Chains A and B, each alone.
Chain A
Amino acid sequence: DTAVSQTPKYLVTQMGNDKSIKCEQNLGHDTMYWYKQDSKKFLKIMFSYNNKELIINETVPNRFSPKSPDKAHLNLHINSLELGDSAVYFCATGGGTEAFFGQGTRLTVV
């Protein structure tokens, strides 16, 4: 039973399209995150939600909009996709100080 699950695992799309990535956790944690890992493997935080409320927004372009319908879900919607958005996006959840990560979604914009 996967603790943090993301869908889809791979996403290939054209520039200008709008796409969503879904994330669900069954650990009962209050906090969920989106991280982006670029081609150099650098992991950087994008957003943090605590109990469905936005806590951190690391100056991410407003084409990226997270949505948390409930404590167990944090989805990421991206409008007008650009080539530079190609990366691996990780959802994570944390109950205290540590974070548990999903398997990642590899987004390729062509």
Chain B
Amino acid sequence: EDQVTQSPEALRLQEGESSSLNCSYTVSGLRGLFWYRQDPGKGPEFLFTLYSAGEEKEKERLKATLTKKESFLHITAPKPEDSATYLCAVQAGGGYNKLIFGAGTRLAVHP
């Protein structure tokens, strides 16, 4: 069964303290791995798509990497405005385009 597990469940950082969020997955025929950011009361906001092992993508203080078993979202020198829940999702083969989400990591960055 296709599955996505994110860790840690919650993470508290001081402003400027870099860290990484983990997303491990089991999927038959990965078509893509996605990272989303979700603020309270809002819908998930798309960040990155990764398609193959070794791929990396960056956006401001965020960098996403992908291996055959997991993905990492590295946050460099975070700021309080980076506080949010970060969701990882995979899209399996089969042609239906549905996303299978992990439970998310709640990130709190304190000044």
Closest beta carbon of chain B to A29's beta carbon, Å: 10
Closest beta carbon of chain A to B3's beta carbon, Å: 12
The residues in A between 50 and 104 inclusive whose CB is less than 8 angstroms from any CB of B are: 55-56, 58, 90, 92, 94, 97-104
Interface residues of A (CB under 8 A from B): 4, 31, 33, 40-45, 48, 55-56, 58, 90, 92, 94, 97-104
- In terms of DSSP, what is the predominant structure of the interface of chain B? strand
**Given A90-B43, A97-B91 in contact, is the A44-B101 Cβ separation under 8 Å?**
yes
Contact B46 A98 (CB under 8 A): yes
The 8 Å CB contact of B31, one of A43, A56, A97, A99, is A97
Closest beta carbon of chain B to A36's beta carbon, Å: 11
Q: A42-B103, A97-B97 are in contact. List 15 more A-B contacts (CB 8 A).
A: A4-B43, A31-B97, A33-B98, A43-B99, A45-B98, A56-B98, A97-B32, A97-B49, A98-B32, A98-B46, A99-B34, A99-B97, A101-B36, A103-B42, A103-B43
